[in-house]
Amino acid sequence: MKPAFDIATLNISWPPILPLIVVTIAAIAVLLVGVHVDDEDSEALGWLSLAGLGVALVMSFAMLGQQELTFAGAIELDNYTGYFYIVILLVAGVTVLMSLDYVRELGLAGAEYYALVLFATLGMMLMAAAGDLIIIFLGLETMSISIYVLAGLSRQQPKSSEAALKYFMLGAFSTGFLLYGIALLYGATGSIKLQAISAALQQQPMGHNPLLLLGLGMLLIGFGFKVAAVPFHMWTPDVYEGAPTSVTAFMAAGVKLAAFAGFLRIFVVHLWPVRAEWALVLWVMAALTMTAGNLIAVMQSNVKRMLAYSAIAHAGYILVAMTAGGPSAGTAILFYLLGYAFTNLGAFAVIIALARRGEAHDAISDLRGLAASHPLMAAAMTLFMLSLTGVPPLAGFIGKFYLFAAAIEAGYVGLVIIAVLNSVISAYYYIGVVVAMYMDEGGVTITPLGARPALVAALAIATTATVLIGVYPGPYLAASASAFTSAYGARPAPHAPTMIPMP
């Protein structure tokens, strides 16, 4: 009698998940070693975390160029997966670097902190490698639960506890929408495998299938929350402000990378046959997200809250390219995410440098006179602000150029005009930070950076990447193009899309 379940059908291949295994082992090792390490000596746990991330990074580079489905199609190995593995691991590594002194100064539990960063990294990588909707969900929850705890890890700070509670409550609510969306999409197509869903949508028209439409709507709500798109953005400013600054940096770069990795693979790659059903919704979300993020950011006096609304606005810019869809837009989004990640890490590293004796010092007024006391740090922060504004030749300018070019190619000129006007508005609050550093006097006294070499290294990496990606974008654009094209597997990538008309 033939068994009901044959393990051979799983097509198990270990190389695609070796980086995931290494990150998991590193997280468990940090917890086990951390039992014997005082919080005051937690820097060693940070270096152990960096070692694990480094090994996983080397393995991820070795995987580039391979293409396979494994674990019965649950895991996809391609350049898309490898690209996000590498960028997520780099973001996690820079986050750990900027945390080495900060965690000790803030009195955080070192073992828990570094283990949670690694587990969150594991969830992010799972989202990038997912070949079915259940793995997307598992990765999302592994990442989210770790970030919930990290946001509230500074137990002596009421704002930190408030941030964790708000993020958890709203995140759990959005997860329910995502799960219902997965269930409805399964009901409409008969599969949770992304390639099978794509094939089913190509074989028969389902544009008016109520299960499919409801499923698409709920998936958009779930991902809209994670990328902080309007109207699902309410959690962002409070969580960014209340969480420890290193955690905020990790959220701004890593969570956005992982969320868009899953968002892109599902919608732009595998739900492309029903693009007409979701493109209009993304058009509206993009316009609202850009405009609300920038207009509210103008009124902020706290740098972390300002960068939170900035993150909302930048999610809107990315949604512009997602609305356009196609290979050009996908390439532009991957390139933009790379530059955006390092720019944000650098900006938050400067905010960490302002902190002293557990006090945040994250108001814009705290940056006054920074150019006189610490000219190199002020110059780095200026670079980050100009890159976020979109000033050439920095990474932010090149990224926006390709995002908007892809949207114009698809015919979304009106949406690009809204995006450009929003970029002009954003210059007001970004340049306001530069004015405070160079034109005003006062501010806070900063602990000498010579006493924090790891933070200096994180700043140097972020600054170099922000400049290099903008000045010499060729290799990174090529890597982005190769990554996004590989996500289609054996299927040809679609041609440049036609515009979905507004009603």
- Transcribe 334-374 into DSSP letters: HHHHHHHHHHHHHHHHHHHHH-BTTB---BGGGGTTHHHH-
Show the tokens assigned to 3: 């068994």
pLDDT of 497: 56
Name the residue type at position 228. Answer: A
pLDDT of 319: 94
Q: Is 416 exposed, middle or buried (0-12, 13-18, 19+ CB in 10 A)?
A: buried
Q: How far is CA 312 from the centre of its chain?
A: 12
Q: Is 357 left (phi over 0), alpha (psi -120 to 50) or beta?
A: left
Kindly give the parts of the chain with pLDDT less than 70: 1-11, 39, 205-207, 356-360, 443-445, 447-450, 489-503
Question: Which residue has 């970030």 as its token pair?
Answer: 147
What is the 8-class DSSP label of residue 69? E
Rounded to whole angstroms, the Cα distance separating 257 from 176 reads: 21
Q: Is 204 exposed, middle or buried (0-12, 13-18, 19+ CB in 10 A)?
A: exposed
pLDDT of 7: 47
Residue 187 near residue 211 (C-beta atoms within 8 A): yes
pLDDT of 491: 59
Question: What residues have CB less than 8 Å from 269, skipping those under 6 apart?
Answer: 194, 198, 330, 487, 488
Rounded to whole angstroms, the Cα distance separating 441 from 443 reads: 7
Name the residue type at position 89. Answer: L
Question: What residues have CB less than 8 Å from 92, skipping those under 6 apart?
Answer: 53, 117, 118, 120, 121, 250, 254
Q: Kindly report the CA angle at 239 between 313 and 284, in degrees rounded to 5?
A: 30
pLDDT of 273: 85
pLDDT of 277: 85
User: How many CB atoms lie under 10 A from the CB of residue 440?
Assistant: 16
Residue-level length of the chain: 503
Show the tokens assigned to 196: 């099978």
Name the residue type at position 188. Answer: A
What backbone phi and psi angles, to 5 degrees, belong to 71? 55, 55
What is the 8-class DSSP label of residue 231? T
329-362: per-residue pLDDT in tens? 999 999 999 999 999 999 999 988 887 666 667 7
pLDDT of 302: 87
Interhelix angle for 474-486 vs 326-354, to 10°? 120
Residue 389 near residue 430 (C-beta atoms within 8 A): yes
In what helix (H) or strand (E) does residue 68 lie, and over which residues does it extend?
strand 68-70
Name the residue type at position 456. Answer: V
pTM of the model: 0.92
Residue 429 near residue 298 (C-beta atoms within 8 A): yes
